[in-house]
Amino acid sequence: MRIDSKIPVATMLVFLMIILTSCSIPITGAREEANAIIDRWSAAYSSNDPEAVVKNYRPDAILLGTVSPVISQGTDAIRNYFLPIKGSGNKNTIGERHTLVLNDNAVLVTGFYEFIRMKEGTPVPAPSRFTMLLIKHDGEWLIAHHHSSPRVQPNQ
């Protein structure tokens, strides 16, 4: 390739740099965005705010709650499941998790978390496991499916 001597090489390099740096490069991807929703869910649970928890779910979401004998589907059912946390002092901490990006709009996350549930003023640990399917719709990530169950502890 021959460079026209009328255009200084420095000018061409600056032009090339501008083109390369102006390309749209996403700062975060589906993995990070979906996991941020799970972290937001955990923080809402730990703040004992059922409404903030429910905002993380799609209106048609399905929840198989850790301490529920029924399937909760839809906003009202999920809200009813989380109402007892209001003012409870309960906490949640996310532990190990694994993320599977299904596509740009669907992410599956599975892992372990621990609930601290207050029983008569005493904190009671409740190690649990979870799977969440998060869907991005109209630019917003929300939980579409959430399964939670007690974690089986290894034999000692």
Per the structure, the complete domain to which residue 63 belongs is given by 29-150
21 pLDDT band, cuts 50/70/90, is very low
Quote the CA–CA distance of 41 and 71 in Å, as a whole number: 19
Give the mean model confidence (pLDDT) for residues 81-90. 97
**Residue 133 covered by a domain:** yes
Number of domains in the chain: 1
Structure tokens at 90: 């309960």
Looking at residue 155, its pLDDT comes to 81
Looking at residue 126, its pLDDT comes to 97
Looking at residue 25, its pLDDT comes to 41
**Residue 15 covered by a domain:** no
pLDDT above 80 (res 5): no
pLDDT in tens, 39-48: 999 999 999 9
Looking at residue 23, its pLDDT comes to 41
**Residue 109 covered by a domain:** yes
Domain CATH code at residue 116: 3.10.450.50
**Residue 7 covered by a domain:** no
pTM: 0.80
Give the mean model confidence (pLDDT) for residues 5-30. 52
**Residue 132 covered by a domain:** yes
**Residue 24 covered by a domain:** no
Nearest Cα to Cα of residue 84 among 113, 130, 118: 118
Report DSSP letters for 27-73, one per residue: SS-HHHHHHHHHHHHHHHHHTT-HHHHHTTEEEEEEEE-TT-SS-EE
Give the mean model confidence (pLDDT) for residues 97-101. 98
pLDDT in tens, 50-69: 999 999 999 999 999 999 99
More confident residue, 129 or 156: 129
Percent of all residues in the chain with a pLDDT value above 70, rounded to a whole number: 82
